[in-house]
Amino acid sequence: MAAIFLILINLLELFVIRSTEVGNLVRNAPSFQSSINSPPNKGPLWPYKAVDDIIALGNLNGQFECAYTGQDSLNYGWWIVDLKNTYDITRICLLNRGDSYYTDLKNFKIIATNRPVSGDENICSTIGGQSVDKALDINDYKCFTCPSSTVGSFVEIRKTKVDEFVGSLCDVRIYGQLIGPRASQLLNITQFKTFPHDLDIGKLNDFNLQSIWLKTGSLYRYFRIDFGKQIKINGVFIVGSATDYSNRKFTNVYVSISSVPETIFSTGDIYLANNYRSTAYVAYETHRLFVNGIITGRYLVISQNSPATSTYHLEITELSIYGYYDNISLGGRIGKELLVESIKVDGNDVTSQLTNGIYEEPTSVELKTNAYLEITITTALIDSFCMNAVHPSTTKDLTVEVVNASNGTIEIYMLNGGFKGLECVCVKNLSIITNLIKVSGKDDESITEIDVFGKCK
């Protein structure tokens, strides 16, 4: 009798699906959510609160320790965690709130995906209008067993109803079997250079909702990141601002990846986001802009092109970039440091001002109408010539003359002056061996930086 009883207990044990830290794939993993709820006394309820080391059923020492999105009246909210590699996910356990608001955890799907956007998705479980049970203590996780096809490297909790919070995620544990590595990973952006050069890029990853990039007005509403060398990028998460619910929201946005620092719109650019328009009405929205594939380049430009004056506003508080360096298939492009030897205007040496990596004023050089900028480079097969210029009007072109080193002929290329203000413009896809490039203006431009890309002979 006693023996039978013991066997029964053992059988029961088998059916109680336990949640333990052993095998949990997501402790302190990168996480994102559709917007950041930021109630006045509780602080931003970041997505990481669902996977960090602090496990509480709500308030702890004056802080609220669960992840919460805002309430978006038009869109399905989401919370995503990055598993970094591809797994066959077996089980997902959620720790709900311990108070009467536990009913927020309802109407959602748990999905495994290969990219953190809608698309190829494998459903682990669907929860309807009856919420997940209230947690009685910090070990009271509710677990969901996934079907065997639940393969992916991101796990998303996605609402099946609009106008509700993704909330009550006090802790999340995920278990599974490793299938293989994933190439694209969250990059540490602190090492990258930016335009403007004095931007503290680390503050775009500091879990603070301070506006780091804010541009208004009609001229150069763009920001640029220089990865330093060619890189492969497949997406970004951008957290907007407190005004994301208003007419100043993150809209008409372009995110391009290019081999050159060009900032004006041009055909042939490859975009992560091409005229992205947010439909959300919620503060601190997180925009997830991913491509199906990978884009190679050295520069990432986030810009806005909006015809309506009231939306001349580009504001970012947090930025996360996914990609990887692929050292094999990068081609032969090298930086200007190896190419530019000297730059002169009317005989005056201006090399240091125009090769200092600072693309904005005041380190600029005047190029008076009909004056020549003479750029001497190490003899090279060049493929792009770029110039950062302040152009006073939109009408007058700049002329770039490249001396063909093989036979002394001057090849003339026009740089379209169809821009006003401070922009980087390039002559691309050149294929000419040269050691001298001359630029002349017709509009009293100021030049702030010169880049020549190519392969040394």
Q: Using CB under 6 A, list all residues that contact ligand NAG.
A: 188, 190-191, 268, 325-327, 404, 406-409, 411, 428-429, 432
- Residue pair 93/133 in contact (Cβ under 8 Å)? The answer is no
CA distance 241 to 232: 27
Select from 184, 178, 126 the least CA-distant residue to 325. 184
Of the pair 41, 429, the CB lying nearest ligand NAG is at 429
Select from 50, 35, 56, 65 the least CA-distant residue to 174. 50
Q: How far is the CB of 183 from ligand NAG (least distance, A)?
A: 8
Burial label, 186 (beta-carbon count in 10 A; 0-12, 13-18, 19+): middle
Burial label, 241 (beta-carbon count in 10 A; 0-12, 13-18, 19+): buried
For residue 196, the tally of other CB atoms under 10 A from its CB is: 14
- Residue pair 253/273 in contact (Cβ under 8 Å)? The answer is yes
Of the pair 28, 130, the CB lying nearest ligand NAG is at 28
Q: How far is the CB of 188 from ligand NAG (least distance, A)?
A: 4
Q: How far is the CB of 268 from ligand NAG (least distance, A)?
A: 4
Of the pair 393, 404, the CB lying nearest ligand NAG is at 404
Of the pair 206, 346, the CB lying nearest ligand NAG is at 206
CA distance 262 to 423: 7
Q: How far is the CB of 20 from ligand NAG (least distance, A)?
A: 27
Q: How far is the CB of 293 from ligand NAG (least distance, A)?
A: 15
Q: How far is the CB of 84 from ligand NAG (least distance, A)?
A: 13
CA distance 265 to 243: 26
Q: How far is the CB of 86 from ligand NAG (least distance, A)?
A: 17
Q: How far is the CB of 239 from ligand NAG (least distance, A)?
A: 17
Please report where in the chains the tokens 């995920």 appear, as a residue.
174
229 Cβ contact list (under 8 Å, min separation 6): 298, 325, 330, 335
- Give the residue ranges of DSSP H helices in 315-391: 336-339, 351-354
Q: How do beta strands 432-440 and 372-391 pair? A: antiparallel
Can you tell me whether residue 364 is helix, strand or coil? coil
Select from 149, 114, 109 the least CA-distant residue to 125. 109
Of the pair 144, 265, the CB lying nearest ligand NAG is at 265
Can you tell me whether residue 172 is helix, strand or coil? strand
Q: How far is the CB of 165 from ligand NAG (least distance, A)?
A: 28
Of the pair 238, 426, the CB lying nearest ligand NAG is at 426
Residue type at position 356? N
DSSP conformational letter for 11: H
Q: How far is the CB of 205 from ligand NAG (least distance, A)?
A: 8
Of the pair 83, 432, the CB lying nearest ligand NAG is at 432
Of the pair 251, 384, the CB lying nearest ligand NAG is at 384
CA distance 390 to 453: 21
Structure tokens, 221? 């509403």
Of the pair 16, 412, the CB lying nearest ligand NAG is at 412
Of the pair 95, 430, the CB lying nearest ligand NAG is at 430
